[in-house]
Amino acid sequence: MTDSHSHSPEDSVAEGPLVRGAEALVLALIEEGVDLLFGYPGGAIMPVYDALHGHRNRLRHVLVRHEQGAVHAAQGYARASGRVGVCIATSGPGATNLVTGIADAQIDSTPIVCITGQVPSSLLGTDAFQETDVVNVTAPLTKWNVQVTRAEDIAPAVARAFFIARSGRPGPVLIDLTKDAQGALVAFRHTPCTRIRAYVPRPRVSEPALDAAAQLLAGASKPFFVVGQGVVLSGAERALLAVAERTGAPVASTLLGLSAFPTSHPQYVGMVGMHGRYGANIKTNECDVLVAIGMRFDDRVTSDLSRYARQARVIHVEIDAAEIGKNVKPEVALHGDARDVLTALLPRLAERRYPAWIAEFHACDAIEHEKVVARELEPEGPELRMGEVVHAISRKTGGQAVVVSDVGQHQMAAARYSAFEAPRSSVTSGGLGTMGFALPAAIGAKLACPERTVVAIIGDGGFQMTMQELGTAMQSGAAVKIVILNNSFLGMVRQWQELYYESRYSETEMQNPDFVRIAGAYGIEAQRVDTREALGTGLDAMLAHPGPYLLEVVVEREGNVFPMVPSASSVSDVRLEA
C-alpha cells in the first residue's frame, strides 16, 4: 500500500517539456479541466500571470477588484456548476484578502482551489515585503493546504489539491507558491491524484445500517426528511426524489439544501431553521423518524439542542464521520455519500403514503399564511415588502433562476419566497454568514452557467461590502441581475435590536449612496423602483436586458422576518409575530 500521489522529484522530472514552474502551474490547471479562474495580480505571483498570458485562449482569467471578490466568485462558480472553483492572488495582503472566502468555503463545504504567490524561499521567515505566513493563517480554514518551494512539486500539489477539494466532503484547498518555485525549470508531467492513503473520500456504505434504516422507516408513522447540501454536492437530487416518493414522507430543506428538492413537489414542506417554515419547525418535534440527509444539525437549524427532536429516532446520512453524533446522536448512522446511500436504500423501501401527516403540515401552512405570508405577499400598506419582491422575481423566472443571496433579512426572504425547481439554484453564504458574498458569487455563478439567469438578491449593507465588483461584472460582461433590497438599515441586526434590545438602533441605520448612479458609473444599466406598480416593469426590464443590470428596490424600512425561532428556544417555540 503506497500513496499513489507521488511526491518524489525523480518521478516528475521523467519526460515532459521543460517549462518554468509558473507554466507548470497553468498547464496543471488546464489538465485538471480548469477553463476559468478569478484573481488579482501582484509581485509574488507575476511569473504565473506571465504564464497565464500565454494560455489566455485556453484558460480565461477574470480580473476582480479585490481578492475577496475572487474567492467568492470561485465559490459561486463551484456552487452553481459543481466544478472546482479556482482563484489566485499574490502574497501578503493578496493572500489575507482571500481568508474570509476560504473560511466561508470551509464551513459551507465548497470545492475551491486557491493559489497564492509567496516571497522567494530564501526570504521565508524574514518579514520580507508582502510576506505573510498564509499556510499557517489558513490551516484551520482549509481542508488541506501546502507551501510549494520547488518547481517539481507544483503539478503534484495541483493534482492533490483538486482531488481533495472535490472529493469526500468538499472544501477549500490552498497552494502557496514561492516565487523561486515559479521561476525554476521543470519537466512538466501531470498525473491526476486518485487516492491518498489516510483519506477515505467515499466510504463504503454499511449494509446492516441500510437494513436498519429501512426497518425504521417501514415502522414509521410520522417520518420526516430534512435534506441539506450533501444532496446537492453528491448529485443525489434524483435519488432523493425516488426515495422520498417511495416513502411518501414530508421533505424539508436546510438553507444550504434549497433546490435539492423541488419547491413545487407535493411532499415539500419548506425550509427548517430559525426563519424556516412554521410547520417544518413544529413538526420536527412531533415526527417519529427523522431522516437527516447531508446536513449537520447546525445551531440555526436546531436552536436549543436539548429540546430538538428528542422524541424522534434519527437516521443520519452523512459523508463526514465527524458530523455523525456531533450535535445529534443518530439511532442509525449511514456514513457515506448521499447518492450512494439513497441509491442503496431505495430497493429496501416499501411504498408508503402519509396523507394525514402531510395534512398536518398544510394546516400549519394555513396558519403561517394568515399571520406571515399574506402580509408579506399582499401587504396592505404602500411600501414594498421583501417577500413580495422575491416572489415576483421567482414568478418571472419560473423558479429556474440561480438565486444568489447575501446575508441578512433579504437572504431569509430569498430562501422563503423563491421557488427552486432546478438543482443548484440557490447560492448563499450559510455557515459563515458573509455579508458581501452575493455580488462576486453571482458573477462566478453566471460565468459558470452562462445559459442560466442569475439573480443576486442583496441588502443595501452587504452590497456596499463588495460593490467594487461591479467593475468585474462590467469588464467580464457577466450578465448578472442585481436586486438591491434597500431598507436603509442593517435589517437583521435592526430586527434583533427591536426585539431584544428595546429598539435601541445602535449603528444600524445607513445613509446610502445613489446606487443607480454608481452602477451607471460602471456602465451598468440600472433603475430604482419604490412602488408596487413599478416593480413589475422594473423586473421585466432587468430580465430582458442582455447584460448586467442593477435594480434598486426600496422596501419597507422596518419590516421583520417571521417566522422566527428565538435563540436558545426550542423549534417548537417558533413565533409568527413579535
Partner 1 sequence: MVFYDPGHEVASEHTLSVFTENRVGLLGRVTATFTRRCLNIESLTVSDSEVPGVHRFTIVVRVSAAQARKVAAQLERQVDVLKAFVHGEGDVLVRDLALYKLDGRHAGAALDAVVAAHGARVLEQSEAMIVLEQTGTETQTTALFHALAPFGIAEFVRSGRVALTRPMRPLESFLAELEAASGHGD
Interface residues with partner 1 (CB under 8 A) are: 1, 3, 135-136, 139-140, 143-147, 163-164, 166-167, 194-205, 290, 305-306, 308-314, 320-322, 324-326, 328-329, 331, 336, 340
Look at the block and give the residue holding cell 472553483.
85
Distance in Å, CB of 182 to partner 1, minimum: 19
Distances (CA, A) of 71 to 30, 98, 106: 19, 6, 12
Distance in Å, CB of 514 to partner 1, minimum: 43
Distances (CA, A) of 220 to 246, 248, 290, 366: 13, 11, 10, 25
Answer whether 146's CB lies under 8 Å from 116's CB.
Answer: no
Q: Judging by beta carbons within 10 Å of its beta carbon (0-12, 13-18, 19+), is residue 544 exposed, middle or buried?
A: exposed
Distance CA 68, CA 73 (A): 8
Question: Which is the catalytic residue, given 143, 179, 222, 283?
Answer: 179
Specify the amino acid at residue 21: G
Considering beta carbons, is residue 289 or 401 the nearer one to partner 1? Answer: 289
Q: Which residues contact 384 (CB under 8 A, 6 or more apart)?
A: 530, 531, 532, 535, 553, 554, 555, 556
Residue 172's H or E segment, with its range, is strand 172-178
Distance in Å, CB of 90 to partner 1, minimum: 21
Considering beta carbons, is residue 193 or 282 the nearer one to partner 1? Answer: 193
Distance in Å, CB of 195 to partner 1, minimum: 6
Neighbours of 523 (CB within 10 A): 13
Considering beta carbons, is residue 53 or 329 the nearer one to partner 1? Answer: 329
Q: Judging by beta carbons within 10 Å of its beta carbon (0-12, 13-18, 19+), is residue 328 exposed, middle or buried?
A: buried
3-state secondary structure 378-428: CCCCCCECHHHHHHHHHHHCCCCCEEEECCCHHHHHHHHHCCCCCCCCEEE
Distance in Å, CB of 146 to partner 1, minimum: 8
Phi, psi of 66 (to 5 degrees): -160, 145
Considering beta carbons, is residue 27 or 174 the nearer one to partner 1? Answer: 174
Distance in Å, CB of 217 to partner 1, minimum: 15
User: Is 179 known to be catalytic?
Assistant: yes
Answer whether 72's CB lies under 8 Å from 98's CB.
Answer: no
- In the DSSP assignment, the letter for residue 276 is S
Distance in Å, CB of 188 to partner 1, minimum: 23
Strand order in the sheet with 85-89: 60-63, 36-39, 85-89, 112-118, 172-178, 144-148
- In the DSSP assignment, the letter for residue 3 is -
Q: Which residues contact 331 (CB under 8 A, 6 or more apart)?
A: 212, 216, 313, 314, 315
Distance in Å, CB of 295 to partner 1, minimum: 16
Question: Which is the catalytic residue, given 412, 467, 492, 564?
Answer: 492
Dihedral sign for Cα atoms in the order 310, 232, 85, 6 = positive
User: Is 435 known to be catalytic?
Assistant: no
Specify the amino acid at residue 576: L
Phi, psi of 184 (to 5 degrees): -75, 155
Question: Which is the catalytic residue, given 23, 32, 38, 67?
Answer: 67
- In the DSSP assignment, the letter for residue 350 is P
Distance in Å, CB of 230 to partner 1, minimum: 15
Cis, bond preceding 9 (omega within 30 deg of 0): no
Distance in Å, CB of 387 to partner 1, minimum: 34
Considering beta carbons, is residue 63 or 135 the nearer one to partner 1? Answer: 135
Considering beta carbons, is residue 206 or 263 the nearer one to partner 1? Answer: 206
Considering beta carbons, is residue 163 or 437 the nearer one to partner 1? Answer: 163
User: Is 130 known to be catalytic?
Assistant: yes
Distance in Å, CB of 388 to partner 1, minimum: 39
Distances (CA, A) of 523 to 472, 539, 550: 12, 19, 11
User: Is 492 known to be catalytic?
Assistant: yes
Considering beta carbons, is residue 196 or 576 the nearer one to partner 1? Answer: 196
DSSP string, 281-329: HHHHTT-SEEEEES----HHHHSSGGGSSTTSEEEEEES-GGGTTTSS-
**Closest listed residue to residue 184, CA positions, set 59, 292, 51, 301:** 51
Question: Which is the catalytic residue, given 46, 130, 371, 510?
Answer: 130
User: Is 400 known to be catalytic?
Assistant: no
Considering beta carbons, is residue 139 or 521 the nearer one to partner 1? Answer: 139
Considering beta carbons, is residue 344 or 470 the nearer one to partner 1? Answer: 344
Considering beta carbons, is residue 58 or 310 the nearer one to partner 1? Answer: 310
Question: Which is the catalytic residue, given 129, 378, 400, 577?
Answer: 129
Look at the block and give the residue holding cell 417554515.
277
Q: Indicate which residues carry an active-site annotation.
A: 67, 129-130, 179, 492
